Amino acid sequence: MYPLEKDGLLPAPAPVRQASRLALSKSFCFLLATVCAGIALYILGPQCLSRQFVASYGEVTLKEVLCPQESPLVPSESGELWKELSETYGTKEFFLQAVELLVGAVKVPTESFDKMAPVGQDPRWEVFAPFHDYLLVTFPNVHATLKLTKVNTYGLVYVWEGLDASLKPLLLTAHQDVVPVNPETVAEWVHPPFSGYFDGERIWGRGSFDDKSVLISIMTTVETLIEKDFKPARTVFLAFGFDEETDGLHGASAISKYLLETYGENAFSMLVDEGGLYGVEYGQAYATVGTTEKGAVDVRVEVASPGGHSSIPPAHTSIGILSQLLVHIESQPYKAELKRGTPMYQMAQCLAAHAPELPSKVRKAIEKADKSDKALKAAEKALFTDIRFKALAGTTQAVDLVQGGVKANALPENAWAVVNHRIATDSSVGATQEHDTKLLLHLARQFNLSYSAFGQQIGDADAPAYGTLTLSDAWNTALEPAPVTPSAGGDAGAFRLLAGTIKTVYQVHRNVTDGETVIVSPGIMSGNTDTRYYWQLTKNIFRYSHWWTGTESGLMGGTHSVNEFIFADGFLEMIRFYTALVLNADESQSI
Protein backbone atom coordinates (compact mmCIF):
# COMPACT_ATOMS: atom_id res chain seq x y z
CA MET A 1 0.00 0.00 0.00
CA TYR A 2 1.23 3.44 -0.86
CA PRO A 3 1.73 5.84 2.10
CA LEU A 4 -1.24 8.03 1.09
CA GLU A 5 -3.42 4.98 0.80
CA LYS A 6 -2.32 3.86 4.26
CA ASP A 7 -3.23 7.26 5.70
CA GLY A 8 -6.68 7.14 4.13
CA LEU A 9 -5.99 10.03 1.75
CA LEU A 10 -6.51 7.91 -1.40
CA PRO A 11 -9.23 5.30 -2.07
CA ALA A 12 -8.40 1.85 -0.77
CA PRO A 13 -8.07 -1.03 -3.23
CA ALA A 14 -11.41 -2.53 -4.25
CA PRO A 15 -11.29 -5.67 -2.05
CA VAL A 16 -11.04 -3.65 1.17
CA ARG A 17 -12.88 -0.44 0.20
CA GLN A 18 -16.32 -1.48 1.47
CA ALA A 19 -14.95 -3.07 4.62
CA SER A 20 -12.99 0.02 5.56
CA ARG A 21 -15.61 2.63 4.69
CA LEU A 22 -17.41 2.38 8.03
CA ALA A 23 -14.14 2.40 9.95
CA LEU A 24 -12.92 5.42 8.03
CA SER A 25 -16.22 7.18 8.63
CA LYS A 26 -16.00 6.53 12.36
CA SER A 27 -12.38 7.62 12.45
CA PHE A 28 -13.17 10.80 10.59
CA CYS A 29 -16.04 11.64 12.95
CA PHE A 30 -13.89 10.92 15.97
CA LEU A 31 -11.07 13.06 14.56
CA LEU A 32 -13.45 15.89 13.70
CA ALA A 33 -15.05 15.78 17.14
CA THR A 34 -11.70 15.83 18.89
CA VAL A 35 -10.36 18.69 16.77
CA CYS A 36 -13.54 20.73 17.24
CA ALA A 37 -13.43 20.15 20.98
CA GLY A 38 -9.83 21.27 21.11
CA ILE A 39 -10.56 24.40 19.07
CA ALA A 40 -13.57 25.26 21.21
CA LEU A 41 -11.62 24.71 24.41
CA TYR A 42 -8.72 26.87 23.18
CA ILE A 43 -10.70 29.73 21.66
CA LEU A 44 -13.81 29.90 23.79
CA GLY A 45 -12.49 28.61 27.09
CA PRO A 46 -13.81 25.76 29.24
CA GLN A 47 -17.01 27.54 30.26
CA CYS A 48 -18.22 27.68 26.66
CA LEU A 49 -17.85 23.96 25.84
CA SER A 50 -21.17 22.20 26.31
CA ARG A 51 -21.43 19.30 28.70
CA GLN A 52 -23.62 17.47 26.13
CA PHE A 53 -20.71 17.57 23.69
CA VAL A 54 -18.36 16.21 26.31
CA ALA A 55 -20.82 13.45 27.19
CA SER A 56 -21.10 12.47 23.54
CA TYR A 57 -17.40 12.64 22.78
CA GLY A 58 -15.69 11.60 25.97
CA GLU A 59 -12.17 11.97 24.62
CA VAL A 60 -12.26 15.52 26.00
CA THR A 61 -12.63 14.72 29.68
CA LEU A 62 -14.67 16.68 32.15
CA LYS A 63 -11.45 17.54 33.96
CA GLU A 64 -10.13 19.23 30.83
CA VAL A 65 -13.35 21.19 30.46
CA LEU A 66 -13.54 22.32 34.07
CA CYS A 67 -9.86 23.06 34.64
CA PRO A 68 -7.52 22.52 31.67
CA GLN A 69 -3.88 22.03 32.62
CA GLU A 70 -0.63 22.77 30.83
CA SER A 71 2.20 20.31 30.48
CA PRO A 72 5.43 21.10 32.34
CA LEU A 73 7.42 23.69 30.41
CA VAL A 74 11.15 22.96 30.45
CA PRO A 75 13.67 25.40 28.95
CA SER A 76 14.90 23.95 25.66
CA GLU A 77 17.39 26.41 24.17
CA SER A 78 18.83 26.84 27.67
CA GLY A 79 18.24 23.21 28.55
CA GLU A 80 21.82 22.46 29.52
CA LEU A 81 21.98 25.59 31.67
CA TRP A 82 18.70 24.67 33.37
CA LYS A 83 20.01 21.18 34.07
CA GLU A 84 23.26 22.54 35.46
CA LEU A 85 21.48 25.07 37.68
CA SER A 86 19.01 22.44 38.88
CA GLU A 87 21.96 20.40 40.13
CA THR A 88 23.65 23.46 41.65
CA TYR A 89 20.50 24.47 43.48
CA GLY A 90 20.33 20.99 44.96
CA THR A 91 23.68 21.27 46.71
CA LYS A 92 24.04 22.03 50.40
CA GLU A 93 26.58 24.74 49.59
CA PHE A 94 24.14 26.73 47.46
CA PHE A 95 21.33 26.17 49.97
CA LEU A 96 23.35 27.70 52.81
CA GLN A 97 24.51 30.58 50.60
CA ALA A 98 20.93 31.38 49.61
CA VAL A 99 19.77 31.26 53.22
CA GLU A 100 22.52 33.68 54.21
CA LEU A 101 21.40 36.12 51.49
CA LEU A 102 17.87 36.30 52.91
CA VAL A 103 19.11 36.35 56.51
CA GLY A 104 21.22 39.41 55.71
CA ALA A 105 18.27 41.16 54.07
CA VAL A 106 16.01 40.56 57.06
CA LYS A 107 18.63 42.03 59.38
CA VAL A 108 18.23 45.44 57.68
CA PRO A 109 14.97 46.94 59.06
CA THR A 110 12.92 48.62 56.32
CA GLU A 111 9.61 49.45 57.98
CA SER A 112 7.11 51.73 56.28
CA PHE A 113 4.40 53.55 58.24
CA ASP A 114 1.00 55.02 57.49
CA LYS A 115 0.79 58.73 56.68
CA MET A 116 4.49 59.29 56.10
CA ALA A 117 5.49 62.66 54.67
CA PRO A 118 7.13 62.71 51.20
CA VAL A 119 10.65 61.45 50.66
CA GLY A 120 13.10 64.12 51.74
CA GLN A 121 10.77 65.42 54.43
CA ASP A 122 10.25 62.33 56.57
CA PRO A 123 13.49 60.86 57.96
CA ARG A 124 11.90 57.43 58.37
CA TRP A 125 12.46 56.81 54.65
CA GLU A 126 16.21 56.85 55.23
CA VAL A 127 16.18 53.22 56.44
CA PHE A 128 16.19 52.16 52.79
CA ALA A 129 19.66 53.55 52.11
CA PRO A 130 21.39 50.80 54.18
CA PHE A 131 19.26 48.21 52.38
CA HIS A 132 20.46 49.54 49.03
CA ASP A 133 24.01 49.27 50.31
CA TYR A 134 23.36 45.66 51.26
CA LEU A 135 22.06 44.83 47.78
CA LEU A 136 25.03 46.56 46.15
CA VAL A 137 27.56 44.51 48.09
CA THR A 138 25.64 41.23 47.98
CA PHE A 139 24.82 41.15 44.26
CA PRO A 140 27.89 42.48 42.45
CA ASN A 141 27.05 40.83 39.10
CA VAL A 142 23.63 42.46 39.02
CA HIS A 143 25.04 45.91 39.68
CA ALA A 144 27.88 45.48 37.19
CA THR A 145 25.61 44.23 34.38
CA LEU A 146 22.16 45.76 34.78
CA LYS A 147 21.32 49.43 34.43
CA LEU A 148 19.93 50.82 37.71
CA THR A 149 17.62 53.82 37.97
CA LYS A 150 16.51 55.07 41.36
CA VAL A 151 13.00 56.50 41.23
CA ASN A 152 11.93 58.92 43.95
CA THR A 153 15.25 58.16 45.70
CA TYR A 154 14.40 54.69 47.02
CA GLY A 155 12.49 52.97 44.20
CA LEU A 156 14.74 50.56 42.29
CA VAL A 157 14.39 49.80 38.58
CA TYR A 158 16.97 47.42 37.09
CA VAL A 159 17.17 46.76 33.32
CA TRP A 160 18.89 43.67 31.93
CA GLU A 161 19.13 44.44 28.24
CA GLY A 162 18.20 41.58 25.92
CA LEU A 163 19.69 40.76 22.54
CA ASP A 164 16.37 40.98 20.66
CA ALA A 165 14.72 44.40 20.92
CA SER A 166 11.58 43.11 19.15
CA LEU A 167 10.62 41.00 22.18
CA LYS A 168 8.52 42.71 24.82
CA PRO A 169 10.36 42.72 28.17
CA LEU A 170 9.54 40.61 31.20
CA LEU A 171 8.80 42.63 34.34
CA LEU A 172 9.43 41.11 37.79
CA THR A 173 8.40 43.16 40.82
CA ALA A 174 8.64 43.01 44.61
CA HIS A 175 8.79 45.50 47.48
CA GLN A 176 11.57 46.43 49.87
CA ASP A 177 9.47 47.57 52.84
CA VAL A 178 8.03 45.50 55.66
CA VAL A 179 5.15 45.92 58.08
CA PRO A 180 6.26 47.70 61.28
CA VAL A 181 6.82 45.57 64.35
CA ASN A 182 4.57 46.58 67.24
CA PRO A 183 6.99 47.30 70.14
CA GLU A 184 4.47 45.80 72.55
CA THR A 185 4.74 42.40 70.83
CA VAL A 186 8.53 42.05 70.64
CA ALA A 187 8.59 39.76 73.67
CA GLU A 188 6.19 37.39 71.86
CA TRP A 189 8.65 36.69 69.04
CA VAL A 190 10.41 33.33 69.23
CA HIS A 191 13.47 35.09 67.81
CA PRO A 192 13.99 38.88 67.62
CA PRO A 193 12.05 40.33 64.65
CA PHE A 194 15.12 41.58 62.78
CA SER A 195 17.52 38.79 63.73
CA GLY A 196 17.06 36.76 60.55
CA TYR A 197 17.59 33.72 62.74
CA PHE A 198 17.97 30.42 60.88
CA ASP A 199 17.16 27.32 62.92
CA GLY A 200 18.08 24.83 60.21
CA GLU A 201 14.53 24.70 58.84
CA ARG A 202 13.03 28.19 58.99
CA ILE A 203 14.29 31.72 58.54
CA TRP A 204 12.69 34.00 61.13
CA GLY A 205 12.08 37.72 61.08
CA ARG A 206 10.01 40.54 59.69
CA GLY A 207 10.12 40.41 55.90
CA SER A 208 11.41 36.84 55.72
CA PHE A 209 8.10 35.89 54.07
CA ASP A 210 6.61 39.22 52.97
CA ASP A 211 8.32 40.33 50.81
CA LYS A 212 12.10 40.10 51.01
CA SER A 213 11.91 36.41 50.12
CA VAL A 214 10.59 37.42 46.69
CA LEU A 215 13.04 40.27 46.19
CA ILE A 216 16.09 38.20 47.21
CA SER A 217 14.88 35.24 45.10
CA ILE A 218 14.72 37.46 42.03
CA MET A 219 18.10 39.07 42.70
CA THR A 220 19.72 35.68 43.38
CA THR A 221 18.30 34.32 40.13
CA VAL A 222 19.72 37.16 38.05
CA GLU A 223 23.05 37.12 39.90
CA THR A 224 23.42 33.38 39.27
CA LEU A 225 22.42 33.55 35.60
CA ILE A 226 24.98 36.30 34.96
CA GLU A 227 27.60 34.23 36.75
CA LYS A 228 26.80 31.40 34.30
CA ASP A 229 27.27 33.79 31.32
CA PHE A 230 23.60 33.72 30.37
CA LYS A 231 22.66 36.58 28.04
CA PRO A 232 18.91 37.02 27.63
CA ALA A 233 17.25 37.55 24.27
CA ARG A 234 14.27 39.18 26.01
CA THR A 235 14.99 42.23 28.17
CA VAL A 236 14.24 41.70 31.87
CA PHE A 237 13.11 44.52 34.17
CA LEU A 238 13.17 44.37 37.96
CA ALA A 239 11.09 46.97 39.82
CA PHE A 240 11.17 47.20 43.61
CA GLY A 241 8.89 49.67 45.40
CA PHE A 242 9.45 50.76 48.98
CA ASP A 243 6.03 51.42 50.53
CA GLU A 244 3.73 48.64 49.32
CA GLU A 245 2.57 48.06 52.88
CA THR A 246 1.26 51.63 52.99
CA ASP A 247 -0.46 51.65 49.57
CA GLY A 248 2.57 52.37 47.38
CA LEU A 249 1.86 56.09 47.16
CA HIS A 250 5.54 57.05 47.00
CA GLY A 251 7.17 53.91 45.60
CA ALA A 252 5.26 51.90 42.99
CA SER A 253 3.23 54.95 42.02
CA ALA A 254 6.40 56.82 41.06
CA ILE A 255 7.91 53.75 39.38
CA SER A 256 4.78 53.31 37.27
CA LYS A 257 4.91 56.91 36.08
CA TYR A 258 8.58 56.52 35.20
CA LEU A 259 7.99 53.31 33.23
CA LEU A 260 4.98 54.72 31.40
CA GLU A 261 6.74 57.94 30.47
CA THR A 262 9.87 56.09 29.35
CA TYR A 263 8.46 53.00 27.63
CA GLY A 264 4.73 53.63 27.09
CA GLU A 265 1.54 51.63 27.63
CA ASN A 266 1.54 47.85 27.18
CA ALA A 267 5.30 47.90 26.77
CA PHE A 268 5.79 44.67 28.73
CA SER A 269 4.93 41.09 27.83
CA MET A 270 3.95 40.09 31.35
CA LEU A 271 4.39 41.16 34.95
CA VAL A 272 4.83 38.84 37.94
CA ASP A 273 4.50 40.32 41.42
CA GLU A 274 4.12 38.86 44.92
CA GLY A 275 1.05 36.87 45.86
CA GLY A 276 -0.64 33.64 44.92
CA LEU A 277 -0.15 30.76 47.31
CA TYR A 278 1.01 27.23 46.63
CA GLY A 279 0.03 24.39 48.93
CA VAL A 280 -2.28 21.43 49.50
CA GLU A 281 -6.08 21.64 49.32
CA TYR A 282 -8.35 18.60 49.67
CA GLY A 283 -5.46 16.19 49.14
CA GLN A 284 -4.01 17.85 46.03
CA ALA A 285 -1.18 20.34 45.54
CA TYR A 286 -2.56 23.57 44.08
CA ALA A 287 -0.85 26.73 42.86
CA THR A 288 -3.28 29.63 42.83
CA VAL A 289 -2.26 32.38 40.44
CA GLY A 290 -3.79 35.76 41.17
CA THR A 291 -5.20 36.86 37.81
CA THR A 292 -6.91 39.81 39.43
CA GLU A 293 -7.29 41.39 42.85
CA LYS A 294 -10.18 42.86 44.75
CA GLY A 295 -10.83 46.57 44.97
CA ALA A 296 -10.70 48.46 48.24
CA VAL A 297 -12.17 51.45 49.97
CA ASP A 298 -11.88 52.68 53.56
CA VAL A 299 -15.17 54.27 54.57
CA ARG A 300 -14.96 56.84 57.35
CA VAL A 301 -18.16 56.97 59.41
CA GLU A 302 -18.26 60.19 61.45
CA VAL A 303 -20.88 61.43 63.89
CA ALA A 304 -20.96 65.00 65.24
CA SER A 305 -23.27 66.18 68.02
CA PRO A 306 -23.38 68.99 70.64
CA GLY A 307 -20.77 68.86 73.38
CA GLY A 308 -21.13 69.86 77.00
CA HIS A 309 -20.60 68.62 80.53
CA SER A 310 -21.18 64.94 81.05
CA SER A 311 -23.21 65.62 84.20
CA ILE A 312 -26.19 66.48 82.00
CA PRO A 313 -25.93 63.89 79.22
CA PRO A 314 -28.27 63.41 76.25
CA ALA A 315 -29.91 60.06 75.57
CA HIS A 316 -27.11 59.23 73.16
CA THR A 317 -23.66 60.75 72.81
CA SER A 318 -21.86 60.80 69.47
CA ILE A 319 -19.91 57.73 70.64
CA GLY A 320 -23.14 55.96 71.58
CA ILE A 321 -24.68 56.74 68.20
CA LEU A 322 -21.54 55.66 66.37
CA SER A 323 -21.54 52.40 68.32
CA GLN A 324 -25.05 51.59 67.18
CA LEU A 325 -24.13 52.42 63.60
CA LEU A 326 -21.16 50.05 63.75
CA VAL A 327 -23.21 47.27 65.33
CA HIS A 328 -25.72 47.65 62.51
CA ILE A 329 -22.95 47.53 59.88
CA GLU A 330 -21.52 44.34 61.34
CA SER A 331 -24.96 42.73 61.62
CA GLN A 332 -25.62 43.36 57.91
CA PRO A 333 -22.60 41.93 56.07
CA TYR A 334 -22.42 41.98 52.31
CA LYS A 335 -24.01 38.99 50.64
CA ALA A 336 -21.24 36.96 49.03
CA GLU A 337 -22.08 35.08 45.82
CA LEU A 338 -20.27 32.56 43.68
CA LYS A 339 -20.73 33.94 40.18
CA ARG A 340 -20.02 32.16 36.94
CA GLY A 341 -16.94 33.28 35.06
CA THR A 342 -15.19 34.88 38.03
CA PRO A 343 -11.73 33.71 39.12
CA MET A 344 -13.22 32.19 42.28
CA TYR A 345 -15.68 30.22 40.15
CA GLN A 346 -12.74 29.00 38.06
CA MET A 347 -10.95 28.01 41.25
CA ALA A 348 -14.02 26.03 42.33
CA GLN A 349 -14.00 24.23 38.99
CA CYS A 350 -10.35 23.30 39.48
CA LEU A 351 -11.17 21.86 42.89
CA ALA A 352 -14.00 19.81 41.39
CA ALA A 353 -11.80 18.56 38.57
CA HIS A 354 -8.70 17.58 40.49
CA ALA A 355 -9.13 17.49 44.30
CA PRO A 356 -9.53 13.85 45.37
CA GLU A 357 -10.75 14.67 48.87
CA LEU A 358 -13.41 17.18 47.86
CA PRO A 359 -16.78 15.77 49.02
CA SER A 360 -18.60 14.12 46.11
CA LYS A 361 -21.77 16.17 46.61
CA VAL A 362 -19.77 19.37 46.29
CA ARG A 363 -17.96 18.04 43.24
CA LYS A 364 -21.21 17.12 41.48
CA ALA A 365 -22.75 20.50 42.29
CA ILE A 366 -19.79 22.36 40.79
CA GLU A 367 -19.83 20.12 37.71
CA LYS A 368 -23.49 21.02 37.09
CA ALA A 369 -23.20 24.68 38.09
CA ASP A 370 -22.62 25.95 34.54
CA LYS A 371 -26.16 24.98 33.53
CA SER A 372 -28.06 24.80 36.82
CA ASP A 373 -28.73 27.72 39.15
CA LYS A 374 -29.79 25.23 41.84
CA ALA A 375 -26.46 23.42 41.57
CA LEU A 376 -24.60 26.74 41.63
CA LYS A 377 -26.29 27.69 44.90
CA ALA A 378 -25.55 24.27 46.38
CA ALA A 379 -21.88 24.62 45.43
CA GLU A 380 -21.81 28.14 46.85
CA LYS A 381 -23.30 27.03 50.17
CA ALA A 382 -20.78 24.21 50.54
CA LEU A 383 -17.72 26.22 49.50
CA PHE A 384 -18.65 29.20 51.66
CA THR A 385 -18.30 27.11 54.80
CA ASP A 386 -14.61 27.89 54.25
CA ILE A 387 -14.40 31.51 55.43
CA ARG A 388 -11.31 32.12 53.28
CA PHE A 389 -13.12 31.11 50.10
CA LYS A 390 -16.19 33.15 51.01
CA ALA A 391 -14.12 36.23 51.82
CA LEU A 392 -12.35 36.06 48.47
CA ALA A 393 -15.60 35.66 46.53
CA GLY A 394 -17.51 38.61 47.99
CA THR A 395 -17.12 42.14 49.29
CA THR A 396 -15.95 42.18 52.90
CA GLN A 397 -16.08 44.73 55.68
CA ALA A 398 -14.00 45.16 58.83
CA VAL A 399 -14.24 47.93 61.42
CA ASP A 400 -10.53 48.60 61.97
CA LEU A 401 -10.26 52.08 63.48
CA VAL A 402 -12.36 53.97 66.01
CA GLN A 403 -11.84 57.20 67.91
CA GLY A 404 -13.91 59.65 69.93
CA GLY A 405 -13.80 61.86 73.01
CA VAL A 406 -11.01 63.69 74.79
CA LYS A 407 -12.04 63.61 78.48
CA ALA A 408 -14.12 61.46 80.80
CA ASN A 409 -16.37 64.33 81.94
CA ALA A 410 -16.82 66.05 78.56
CA LEU A 411 -19.44 65.04 76.00
CA PRO A 412 -17.68 63.99 72.79
CA GLU A 413 -18.45 66.38 69.97
CA ASN A 414 -17.08 64.00 67.34
CA ALA A 415 -16.61 60.27 67.01
CA TRP A 416 -15.48 58.35 63.96
CA ALA A 417 -14.56 54.90 62.74
CA VAL A 418 -13.07 53.48 59.56
CA VAL A 419 -14.58 50.43 57.88
CA ASN A 420 -12.21 48.66 55.50
CA HIS A 421 -13.87 47.06 52.47
CA ARG A 422 -12.28 44.61 50.05
CA ILE A 423 -14.47 44.82 46.97
CA ALA A 424 -15.49 41.72 45.00
CA THR A 425 -14.07 41.49 41.50
CA ASP A 426 -17.57 41.67 39.99
CA SER A 427 -18.52 44.79 42.00
CA SER A 428 -17.19 48.37 42.17
CA VAL A 429 -16.30 51.25 44.48
CA GLY A 430 -19.55 52.99 43.54
CA ALA A 431 -21.68 49.96 44.40
CA THR A 432 -19.94 49.64 47.77
CA GLN A 433 -20.48 53.30 48.62
CA GLU A 434 -24.12 53.08 47.57
CA HIS A 435 -24.62 50.01 49.77
CA ASP A 436 -23.15 51.72 52.84
CA THR A 437 -25.16 54.88 52.24
CA LYS A 438 -28.47 53.01 52.12
CA LEU A 439 -27.53 50.80 55.04
CA LEU A 440 -27.30 53.70 57.51
CA LEU A 441 -30.16 55.86 56.17
CA HIS A 442 -32.81 54.73 58.65
CA LEU A 443 -30.45 55.18 61.62
CA ALA A 444 -29.62 58.70 60.50
CA ARG A 445 -33.36 59.43 60.58
CA GLN A 446 -33.82 57.64 63.91
CA PHE A 447 -31.17 59.80 65.60
CA ASN A 448 -32.24 62.95 63.73
CA LEU A 449 -28.89 63.42 61.99
CA SER A 450 -28.25 65.49 58.91
CA TYR A 451 -26.77 62.94 56.48
CA SER A 452 -24.16 63.35 53.75
CA ALA A 453 -22.37 60.53 52.00
CA PHE A 454 -19.35 60.76 49.69
CA GLY A 455 -19.96 64.41 48.90
CA GLN A 456 -23.72 64.12 48.37
CA GLN A 457 -26.38 65.43 50.73
CA ILE A 458 -28.94 62.80 51.63
CA GLY A 459 -32.34 64.30 52.41
CA ASP A 460 -33.12 67.90 53.39
CA ALA A 461 -29.98 69.68 54.54
CA ASP A 462 -31.99 72.58 56.02
CA ALA A 463 -34.22 70.45 58.27
CA PRO A 464 -33.55 70.79 62.03
CA ALA A 465 -31.17 68.10 63.21
CA TYR A 466 -29.53 67.00 66.43
CA GLY A 467 -26.20 66.37 64.73
CA THR A 468 -24.58 65.09 61.56
CA LEU A 469 -23.60 61.78 60.02
CA THR A 470 -20.93 61.87 57.33
CA LEU A 471 -19.59 59.03 55.20
CA SER A 472 -16.42 59.61 53.20
CA ASP A 473 -13.41 57.93 51.60
CA ALA A 474 -11.09 57.98 54.62
CA TRP A 475 -7.82 58.53 52.74
CA ASN A 476 -9.04 59.20 49.17
CA THR A 477 -7.41 55.96 48.05
CA ALA A 478 -10.44 54.00 46.80
CA LEU A 479 -9.40 51.31 44.33
CA GLU A 480 -11.55 49.56 41.73
CA PRO A 481 -11.13 45.79 41.27
CA ALA A 482 -8.24 45.04 38.92
CA PRO A 483 -8.68 43.97 35.30
CA VAL A 484 -8.73 40.19 34.93
CA THR A 485 -5.75 38.66 33.14
CA PRO A 486 -6.84 36.01 30.59
CA SER A 487 -6.33 32.43 31.76
CA ALA A 488 -8.07 30.64 28.89
CA GLY A 489 -8.42 31.11 25.18
CA GLY A 490 -6.21 32.69 22.57
CA ASP A 491 -5.03 35.55 24.78
CA ALA A 492 -3.79 33.31 27.59
CA GLY A 493 -0.28 32.61 26.31
CA ALA A 494 1.31 34.29 29.33
CA PHE A 495 -0.84 32.28 31.76
CA ARG A 496 0.06 29.04 30.00
CA LEU A 497 3.76 29.92 30.16
CA LEU A 498 3.50 30.62 33.88
CA ALA A 499 1.47 27.45 34.53
CA GLY A 500 3.95 25.26 32.64
CA THR A 501 6.82 26.84 34.56
CA ILE A 502 5.15 26.18 37.91
CA LYS A 503 4.65 22.52 37.02
CA THR A 504 8.28 22.08 35.99
CA VAL A 505 9.61 23.64 39.18
CA TYR A 506 7.28 21.52 41.29
CA GLN A 507 8.50 18.33 39.65
CA VAL A 508 12.19 19.23 39.80
CA HIS A 509 12.32 20.63 43.31
CA ARG A 510 10.12 17.98 44.92
CA ASN A 511 11.46 15.13 42.79
CA VAL A 512 7.93 13.87 42.24
CA THR A 513 7.01 10.57 40.65
CA ASP A 514 5.45 10.22 37.20
CA GLY A 515 1.87 11.34 37.12
CA GLU A 516 2.16 13.45 40.22
CA THR A 517 1.70 17.15 39.58
CA VAL A 518 0.56 20.49 40.94
CA ILE A 519 -2.73 21.88 39.67
CA VAL A 520 -2.49 25.48 38.52
CA SER A 521 -5.66 27.49 39.01
CA PRO A 522 -6.69 31.11 38.41
CA GLY A 523 -7.62 32.90 41.61
CA ILE A 524 -7.60 36.14 43.54
CA MET A 525 -4.92 37.80 45.61
CA SER A 526 -6.43 38.36 49.06
CA GLY A 527 -4.91 41.82 49.54
CA ASN A 528 -3.79 44.56 47.19
CA THR A 529 -0.27 44.72 45.80
CA ASP A 530 1.86 47.28 43.99
CA THR A 531 0.26 46.04 40.76
CA ARG A 532 -2.56 48.52 41.37
CA TYR A 533 -0.26 51.09 39.73
CA TYR A 534 0.88 48.88 36.86
CA TRP A 535 -2.36 48.15 34.99
CA GLN A 536 -1.31 50.23 31.97
CA LEU A 537 2.06 48.51 31.55
CA THR A 538 0.72 45.11 30.38
CA LYS A 539 -2.47 43.12 30.04
CA ASN A 540 -0.78 40.11 31.63
CA ILE A 541 -0.41 40.77 35.37
CA PHE A 542 0.06 37.84 37.73
CA ARG A 543 0.30 37.86 41.50
CA TYR A 544 2.27 34.73 42.22
CA SER A 545 5.47 34.11 44.20
CA HIS A 546 5.58 30.30 44.45
CA TRP A 547 5.25 30.62 48.23
CA TRP A 548 4.84 27.11 49.65
CA THR A 549 2.25 27.12 52.45
CA GLY A 550 2.19 23.43 53.24
CA THR A 551 -1.07 21.64 53.90
CA GLU A 552 -4.53 23.16 53.82
CA SER A 553 -4.11 24.28 57.44
CA GLY A 554 -2.15 27.09 55.83
CA LEU A 555 1.33 28.01 57.05
CA MET A 556 1.27 31.72 56.29
CA GLY A 557 4.43 32.38 58.23
CA GLY A 558 3.13 35.01 60.66
CA THR A 559 2.64 37.53 57.87
CA HIS A 560 1.87 41.00 59.30
CA SER A 561 1.98 39.50 62.78
CA VAL A 562 4.46 38.08 65.29
CA ASN A 563 6.87 35.26 64.48
CA GLU A 564 7.04 35.78 60.72
CA PHE A 565 9.08 33.07 59.03
CA ILE A 566 9.63 31.19 55.79
CA PHE A 567 10.73 27.61 55.27
CA ALA A 568 14.26 27.69 53.89
CA ASP A 569 13.46 24.86 51.48
CA GLY A 570 10.47 26.82 50.20
CA PHE A 571 12.69 29.86 49.69
CA LEU A 572 15.10 27.75 47.64
CA GLU A 573 12.19 26.56 45.51
CA MET A 574 11.30 30.20 44.83
CA ILE A 575 14.77 30.72 43.36
CA ARG A 576 14.17 27.74 41.08
CA PHE A 577 10.84 29.26 40.07
CA TYR A 578 12.22 32.66 39.06
CA THR A 579 15.10 30.96 37.25
CA ALA A 580 12.75 28.79 35.20
CA LEU A 581 10.46 31.76 34.55
CA VAL A 582 13.26 33.92 33.15
CA LEU A 583 14.54 31.09 30.93
CA ASN A 584 11.09 30.05 29.68
CA ALA A 585 10.00 33.64 29.01
CA ASP A 586 13.24 34.20 27.11
CA GLU A 587 12.35 31.39 24.69
CA SER A 588 8.60 32.01 24.45
CA GLN A 589 6.88 32.98 21.22
CA SER A 590 3.49 33.32 22.91
CA ILE A 591 4.05 36.49 24.95
For residue 36, what pLDDT is reported?
45
How confident is the model over 113-123, as a mean pLDDT?
A: 96
For residue 128, what pLDDT is reported?
98
Q: Which of 177, 274, 281, 367 is catalytic?
A: 177
Q: Which helix (H) or strand (E) holds 17?
A: helix 14-44
For residue 526, what pLDDT is reported?
80
Evaluate if residue 1 carries a pLDDT over 80: no
- Please determine whether the domains at 79-288+492-587 and 292-473 fall in the same fold group of CATH: no
**What is the model's pTM?**
0.88
pLDDT tens digit sequence for 217-231:
999 999 999 999 999
| Angle separating helix axes 318-331 and 429-439, nearest 10 degrees | 120
Sorted by sequence, the CB contacts under 8 Å of residue 243 that are 6+ apart come out as 112, 116, 175, 177, 249, 250, 251, 252
Is residue 210 marked as binding?
Answer: yes
Is residue 245 marked as binding?
Answer: yes
pLDDT tens digit sequence for 238-251:
999 999 999 999 99
Q: Which of 223, 244, 370, 426 is catalytic?
A: 244
At the topology level, CATH places domain 292-473 in Alpha-Beta Plaits (3.30.70)
For residue 39, what pLDDT is reported?
42
- What residue segments make up the domains of the chain, in order of their start? 79-288+492-587, 292-473
Q: How far apart are CA 42 and CA 156, in angstroms?
A: 38
pLDDT band, very low/low/confident/very high, at 61 (cuts 50, 70, 90): confident
Is residue 560 marked as binding?
Answer: yes
Sorted by sequence, the CB contacts under 8 Å of residue 112 that are 6+ apart come out as 124, 177, 178, 180, 242, 243, 244, 245, 246
Is residue 273 marked as binding?
Answer: yes
pLDDT tens digit sequence for 126-153:
999 999 999 999 999 999 999 999 999 9
How confident is the model over 111-127, as a mean pLDDT?
A: 97
Is residue 514 marked as binding?
Answer: no
487 within 8 A of 543, measured Cβ to Cβ: no
pLDDT tens digit sequence for 326-363:
999 999 999 999 999 999 999 999 999 999 999 999 99
pLDDT tens digit sequence for 539-589:
999 999 998 887 644 455 677 889 999 999 999 999 999 999 999 999 999
In the residue annotation, 244 being an active-site residue is answered as yes
CATH superfamily label, 79-288+492-587: Zn peptidases (3.40.630.10)
Evaluate if residue 41 carries a pLDDT over 60: no
In the residue annotation, 337 being an active-site residue is answered as no
For residue 307, what pLDDT is reported?
94
423 within 8 A of 432, measured Cβ to Cβ: yes
For residue 261, what pLDDT is reported?
98
